[in-house]
Amino acid sequence: MSTVKIQHISKSFGGNVVLQEINETFHDGEFITLLGPSGCGKSTMLRMIAGFERPTSGELYINDRLVSGGKTFVPPEKRNIGMVFQSYAVWPHMNVFDNIAYPLSIKKISKAEIRKSVEQVMDITHLTQYAERFPNQLSGGQQQRIALARALVSAPDLLLLDEPLSNLDAKLRESMRFEIKELQKKTGITVVYVTHDQTEAMAMSDRIFLLHRGIVQQVGTPNDIYNRPANQFVADFLGKVDFFKGESANGRIVFPGMDGQSVRYDGSRSGKVDVAVRPENIYFSADGPLEGVLETQYYLGDVDDCRVRIGETLVRVIANGYEYQNLKEGQQVHLSIRDMMVFEDDGTLEQMLEIRT
């Protein structure tokens, strides 16, 4: 089992600063996801933990052992880590069993022991029945599981996964997410997972480590990050959100772009404010403070995705069918806001307001 301690880690390539002053501890048995847009430094962070990349400054500890920092640098093969890359490479000329056994076969380990370890990981990755097959006789998801099994067979302290599901189709990706999560629960292994897919991060992680341009924006549980985003970037990156310009005065926020209509506000900011609302936190209600015209509605099966025009602003509303079942496009409607985020001038969250009218 394993912990990772990241202290004052920065990384530059030439003059290009890719990661700045990263500090965080990943706890034993945690499923941590490094999340962020393309190029934000996720793979670089993972590769530094693995030992494929040296930090420019700072220290890295795995299980309280310094693996990188000062004059110390422990190479990847001595870090007891299992890793799966985006382009998982399975050997086409070896069957499933031999592919998985490979990392052990190059060590001095008896055949009997190898068999025992391989059988164990084939069991948890549901590959036992395919032991004799060759990769080209298997589906993408099954091949992906070979790569996972191979990363697990040496009983690593830490499992590092860099976008391991990106080659798979949507349905398979969803079921593999579940399998990786189950596997982590079964083995109790600490996992650091890289993805730029926010849904994947939300579904799998104990905590999400959200990066943007090499700077940590927020670290927290999926619930924290979704419901209390640290700043506008985070609010925008996770989930759907609409931003509105408002003006705060006398206990209300007025929206000039919505014909000057307003909602209640008991926060401390005055003057111009940036407000964000998730479309599932706006709902149709006869006595709602905002009034507009239902412009479009799309039936999505479980919910309805609607647009309401208020002045020059189109407000998105994700409603369940029950709320709006009698409404027609072109009709006058009233809206209430359930939760609203109000931001400071620097883009950080001032407060999350629960509004009920």
Residues in contact with ligand ATP, shown as a per-residue x/- string from 42 to 71 under the rule CB under 6 A:
xxx---------------------------
Picking from 171, 239, 153, 192, the residue whose alpha carbon sits closest to that of residue 62 is 192
Closer CB to ligand ATP, 33 or 313, in the complex: 33
- State in angstroms the smallest separation of the CB of 191 from ligand ATP: 17
Decide which of ligand ATP, Mg ion, none touches 177; Cβ closer than 5 to 8 Å per partner kind. none
DSSP at 164: T
Site for ligand ATP in 178-217 (CB under 6 A): 196
Closer CB to ligand ATP, 14 or 301, in the complex: 14
Contact 270, 249 (CB under 8 A): yes
- State in angstroms the smallest separation of the CB of 41 from ligand ATP: 4
Contact 291, 310 (CB under 8 A): yes
**How many Å apart are CA 219 and CA 338, to the nearest integer?**
25
The dihedral formed by the CA atoms of 81, 87, 89 and 92, expressed in degrees to the nearest 10: 160
Angle between helices 96-105 and 140-152 (to 10 degrees): 20
Q: Which of 2, 43, 117, 187 binds Mg ion (CB under 5 A)?
A: 43
Q: Does 117 bind ligand ATP (CB under 6 A)?
A: no
Decide which of ligand ATP, Mg ion, none touches 44; Cβ closer than 5 to 8 Å per partner kind. ligand ATP
Q: Which of 4, 22, 35, 40 binds ligand ATP (CB under 6 A)?
A: 40
Question: CB-based contacts of 10: which residues, under 8 Å, 6+ apart?
Answer: 17, 19, 20, 21, 22, 55, 56, 57, 58
Closer CB to ligand ATP, 36 or 279, in the complex: 36
Q: Enumerate binding residues for Mg ion (CB under 5 A).
A: 43
